[in-house]
């Protein structure tokens, strides 16, 4: 089961026991409104009416005389409170209570066997009442009409102190919405009464609409009206400072002409048969705090073989229409589509048949959404009755009286990641796991274990790349949601694989037209998303190409002996120090693998360059964000990258029980070391194509394992092709650890001749061998002769210092001696102490005798 439904409230457990206790209490038996004699034996009358913004739940029940009781469950205190009782057999249409619990609004009709007839007042079938309940006092009739009315108190976002004015929405079946302004005053201490109850001011909020949805958490009203046979979605924001504001208008390419009148999230509606509703269209608006705006729409169900639905991603500028096969249909299962809001995801299912997790944050590639077509054990535990998605990942099952908080089920997604044979399902499960807020190190360890076990299998995406990029992205995403357009969230560039049983059509849509000019909170983010769709460059996401060019330039300058200005390089290296310090602060436990134990200037340069470039990039695109916050985010992001690489390797290190003796060269490699070497090679491949930094010491450890595990010709092939890098630390250790056997001499010589000149000059002195002297001599001669121009001989040079009966060598040594004596600066370069023409001549003779076997 990909979803985990946690019960937040259950009528049968949170309300029913207390009501039964009231019934059993002798003292309560004589109290008229205490809840005694409430139930018949079957208790069927108990049901939820509404869920308010503060989480309080209003419920109703009847006693055996038909009296209607209203109760409230306080979500914070987990206590029940009796609100009011009507001593008449009535059927409740709608109910709402204000935040101070002083006013109760309700719409009722008289219960009759003949139908929906009401005889409370002649000519009216629905009576809308406003009741003073603190204490019980007046009952005011707001509406007595021949149409149904739904009520909803507004809960302003400013709740630090009680407001003198309460606002109440009345939604009429005649397709209009009114807002009542209700002034309250206190009399005789705590007695709260309505001021000027005979004349309550009202506003017309909307009219001529065919569909409306209430967002109780964000206090927003969405409604659809028709103009020239075209549907338009409007949104009204209610808040404490102003009356109400029309925020946007968006055209919808759907047909609602024959859909009738429908309300969403205005409480339970007993008038609408749930099975009949399932045969009609389903339409929901979902948002989250990143500024996303999705409209999920499914036309009325007319097929037992497939279901079609559309999702309008307004924050992305396109829509996707899905057609999914149902598989073997069960005639007893309710048909229709249910949409559930999971913040960054929308769950789509037809009870008992198929389950889709749509990634609304990143809907561009279908591989980031999870599609399970047909009957599947992943959806078996979902209720077969339709669920109503409220705000804040809350889901209400009206039939059972349960309120759920729905989450992605990490354990099941992890199991699915291991067991699924399909790459697009692996990709979707991986992103679903990493998107879970506050995913733990244990979860990351499980994913790393999966990567380690599957690293040799063929996939259509790089497991290591995808994990590193996605996990680093999601690690900072909760802190700064705007980075979702700037930082990469996936390593894949395209994904064209078809999904069996699913067809998909993507179309551009018209963006919402914002009706205001000043934005805060969610609206600022939505407007940013819309502006991004309109004007942003297609390839605005950050990549490391700039760093690659700059890094290559620095390395080239290093090889030629040229260096940038000292302040520039100091700034780059200081950036690297900050990253390493930040990483060590986040992970206090010592590393198993020997990382961060050497300078490794090349990796520090790459690390520092990434800090500099990424910081400048974000400062350019994240206007209005504090510089310090961006700097810390960059440090956290790059630290996370490095930490993930360390964790991947340490998992394999721990699995194969490797120890510090791996770093010694005077031993042969084992199967365990080869497995770790192979993993390090895959890590290197993954990071090289993305040009990501590696932990200092990575290349040293990689080279050591390569020397252990590879034959010499393979080792040299890896070195020549840049897979293994010759670090000064590793080569120094190699020269010291290995003796001068014939095999080791061949290895040492093969390594030394491949070293960069500056490092080679240092390393050659560690090997007391004629071959090393020959190499030193060659480097010395190269330095002397690179600018040599033949000049008249200096007869004053003492030629008796070196005399061998080998005239070509004598002549060459004399030339070197002339150069040395004429300009000391030419050969006084770093590392060439005690190297002169005499040393060169002696080394040449030793090397010659060695080659000739003399």
Percentages helix, strand, coil for the chain (3-state, rounded to 5) are 35, 25, 40
pLDDT of residue 449: 94
pLDDT of residue 63: 82
Measure the CA–CA gap between 161 and 150, rounded to whole angstroms: 27
Q: Encode 652-677: b = buried (16+ Cβ within 10 Å), e = exposed.
A: bbeebebeeebbebeeebeeebbbbb
Mean pLDDT of the 718-746 span? 85
Q: Is the pLDDT of residue 155 over 80?
A: yes
Q: Report how far Cα 664 is from the mean position of its chain's Cα atoms.
A: 42
Whole-number Å distance between alpha carbons of 293 and 13: 36
pLDDT digit string (tens) for 659-714? 766 777 766 778 888 999 999 999 999 999 899 999 998 999 999 899 988 999 99
| Amino acid 36: pLDDT | 44
Which whole number is the average pLDDT over 279-294? Answer: 88
Which helix (H) or strand (E) segment holds residue 389: the answer is: strand 388-389
pLDDT tens-digit map of 69-117: 999 999 999 999 999 998 888 889 999 999 989 999 999 987 654 444 4
pLDDT at 427: 95
- For residue 850, which phi and psi values (nearest 5 degrees)? -70, -45
Q: Is the pLDDT of residue 757 over 80?
A: no
Distances in Å between the alpha carbon of 727 and those of 562, 661, 705?
Answer: 20, 19, 13
> 75, 65, 57, 67: which is closest to 92 by C-alpha?
67
Counted residue by residue, the chain has a size of 854
Q: What is the pLDDT of residues 505-557, one digit of tens each?
A: 999 999 999 999 888 889 999 998 999 898 876 667 888 888 888 888 888 87
Tell me the C-alpha distance between 129 and 112, whole Å. 20
User: How many angstroms separate the CA atoms of 260 and 280, rounded?
Assistant: 9
Residue 87 is predicted with a pLDDT of 85
Instruction: Provide mean pLDDT across the span 48-67.
Output: 90
pLDDT at 769: 58
Residue 218's closest CA among 234, 244, 238, 247? Answer: 238
pLDDT for the residue 380: 56
pLDDT in tens, 8-28: 999 999 999 888 887 776 444
Six-digit token string for 95:
């109910």
Render pLDDT for 790-805 as a digit per residue (tens, 0 to 9).
Answer: 655 554 444 445 555 5
Q: What is the pTM of this model?
A: 0.84
pLDDT of residue 32: 47
Question: What per-residue confidence (pLDDT) applies to 784?
Answer: 59
DSSP string computed for 356-382: EEEESSS-SSGGGSEEE-SS-GGGTTS
How far is CA 805 from each of CA 733, 796, 802, 808, rounded to the nearest angstrom? 40, 21, 10, 9
**Residue 93, Cβ neighbours under 10 Å: how many?**
26
What is the three-class DSSP state of 847? Answer: helix
Q: What is the mean pLDDT of the chain?
A: 82
Residues near 547 by Cβ (< 8 Å), separated by ≥ 6?
Answer: 606, 609, 610, 613, 691
pLDDT of the residue at 469:
94
* Crossing angle between the packed helical segments 601-621 and 627-655, to the nearest 10 degrees: 140
Per-residue pLDDT at 586 exceeds 70:
yes
In this predicted model, which residue has the larger pLDDT, 613 or 789?
613
In the chain, % of residues over pLDDT 70: 77
Q: Over 50: is that where the pLDDT of 375 sits?
A: yes
Mean pLDDT of 132-160: 84
Q: Residue 384 corresponds to which tokens in the numbers above? A: 């077969």
CB atoms < 10 A from the CB of 6, how many? 11
pLDDT attached to residue 767: 59
pLDDT in tens, 37-55: 444 444 678 999 999 999 9
725 or 23: which leads in pLDDT: 725
pLDDT computed for residue 827 by the predictor: 47
User: Hey, is 605 helix, strand or coil?
Assistant: helix
For residue 235, give the nearest of 202, 266, 211, 268 by alpha carbon: 211
Q: Average pLDDT for residues 417-422, to the nearest whole number?
A: 91
155 touches 52 (CB < 8 A): yes
Strand partners, 92: 108
């Amino acid at each position: 089961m990909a979803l985990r439904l946690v019960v937040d409230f259950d009528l049968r457990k949170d309300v029913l026991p207390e009501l039964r206790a009231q019934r059993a209490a002798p003292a309560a038996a004589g109290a008229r409104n205490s809840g005694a004699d409430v139930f018949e034996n079957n208790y069927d009358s108990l049901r939820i009416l509404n869920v308010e913004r503060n989480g309080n739940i209003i419920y109703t029940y009847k006693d055996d005389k038909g009296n209607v009781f209203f109760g409230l469950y306080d979500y914070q205190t987990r206590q029940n409170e009796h609100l009011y009782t009507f001593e008449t057999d009535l059927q409740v249409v709608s109910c709402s209570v204000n935040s101070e619990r002083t006013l109760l609004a309700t719409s009722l009709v008289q219960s009759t066997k003949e139908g929906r007839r009401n005889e409370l007042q002649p000519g009216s079938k629905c009576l809308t009442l406003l009741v003073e309940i603190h204490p019980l006092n007046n009952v005011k009739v707001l509406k007595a009409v021949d149409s149904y009315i739904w009520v909803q108190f507004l809960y302003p976002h400013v709740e630090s102190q009680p407001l003198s004015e309460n606002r109440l929405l009345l939604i009429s079946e005649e397709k209009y919405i009114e807002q009542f302004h209700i002034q309250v005053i206190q009399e005789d201490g705590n007695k709260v009464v309505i001021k000027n109850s005979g004349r309550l001011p009202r506003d017309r909020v909307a009219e001529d609409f065919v569909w409306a949805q209430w967002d109780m958490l964000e206090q927003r009203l969405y409604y659809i009206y028709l103009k020239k046979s075209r549907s338009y979605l409007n949104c009204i924001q209610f808040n404490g400072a102003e009356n109400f504001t029309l925020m946007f208008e968006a055209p919808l390419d759907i047909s609602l002409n024959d859909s009738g009148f429908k309300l969403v999230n205005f409480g339970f509606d007993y008038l609408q048969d749930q099975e009949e509703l399932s045969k009609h269209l389903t339409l929901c608006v979902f948002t989250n705090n990143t500024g996303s705006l999705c409209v999920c729409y499914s036309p009325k169900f007319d097929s037992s073989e497939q279901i079609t639905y559309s999702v309008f991603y307004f924050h992305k500028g396109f829509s996707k229409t899905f057609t999914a096969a149902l598989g073997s249909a069960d005639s007893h299962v309710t048909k229709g589509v249910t949409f559930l809001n999971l913040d960054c995801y929308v769950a789509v299912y037809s009870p008992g048949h198929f389950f889709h997790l749509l990634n609304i944050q990143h809907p561009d590639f279908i591989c980031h959404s999870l599609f399970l077509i047909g009957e599947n054990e992943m959806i078996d535990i979902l209720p077969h009755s339709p669920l109503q998605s409220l705000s804040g990942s809350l889901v209400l099952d009206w039939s059972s009286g349960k309120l759920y908080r729905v989450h992605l089920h990490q354990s099941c997604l992890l199991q699915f990641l291991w067991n699924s044979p399909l790459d697009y399902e692996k990709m979707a499960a991986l992103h679903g796991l990493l998107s879970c807020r506050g995913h733990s190190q244990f979860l990351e360890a499980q994913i790393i274990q999966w990567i380690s076990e599957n690293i040799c299998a063929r996939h259509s995406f790089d497991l290591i790349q995808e994990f590193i990029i996605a996990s680093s992205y999601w690690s900072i995403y909760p802190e700064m949601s705007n980075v979702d357009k700037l930082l990469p969230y996936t390593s894949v560039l395209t994904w064209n694989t078809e999904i069996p049983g699913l067809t998909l059509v993507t179309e551009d849509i018209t963006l919402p037209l914002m009706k205001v000019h000043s934005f805060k909170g969610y609206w600022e983010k939505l407007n940013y998303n819309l502006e991004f769709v309109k004007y942003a460059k297609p390839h605005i996401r950050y990549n490391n190409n700039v760093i690659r060019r700059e890094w290559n330039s620095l390395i080239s300058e290093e090889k030629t002996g040229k260096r940038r200005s000292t302040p520039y390089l100091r700034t780059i290296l200081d950036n690297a120090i900050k990253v390493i310090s930040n990483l060590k602060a986040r992970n206090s436990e010592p590393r198993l693998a020997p990382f961060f134990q050497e300078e490794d200037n090349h990796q520090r340069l790459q690390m520092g360059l990434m800090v500099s470039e990424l910081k400048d990039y974000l400062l350019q695109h994240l206007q209005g964000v504090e510089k310090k916050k961006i700097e810390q985010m960059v440090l956290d992001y790059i630290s996370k990258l490095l930490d993930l690489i360390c964790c991947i390797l340490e998992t394999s290190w721990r699995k194969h029980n490797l120890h510090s003796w791996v770093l010694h060269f005077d031993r042969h490699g084992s199967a365990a070391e080869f497995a770790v070497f192979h993993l390090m090679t895959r890590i290197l491949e993954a990071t090289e194509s993305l040009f990501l930094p590696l932990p200092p010491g990575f290349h040293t450890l990689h080279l050591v394992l390569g020397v252990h595990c590879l034959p010499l010709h393979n080792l040299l092939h890896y070195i020549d092709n840049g897979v293994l890098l010759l670090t000064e630390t590793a080569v120094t250790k190699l020269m010291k650890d290995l003796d001068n056997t014939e095999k080791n001499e061949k290895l040492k010589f093969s390594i030394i001749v491949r070293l960069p000149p500056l490092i080679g000059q240092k390393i050659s002195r560690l090997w007391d061998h004629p071959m090393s002297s020959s190499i030193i001599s060659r480097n010395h001669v190269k330095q002397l002769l690179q600018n040599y121009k033949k000049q008249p001989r200096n007869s004053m040079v003492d030629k008796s210092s070196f005399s061998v009966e080998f005239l070509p060598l004598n002549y060459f040594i004399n030339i070197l001696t002339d150069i040395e004596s004429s300009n000391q600066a030419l050969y006084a370069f770093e590392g060439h102490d005690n190297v002169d023409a005499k040393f060169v001549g002696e080394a040449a003779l030793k090397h010659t005798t060695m080659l000739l076997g003399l």
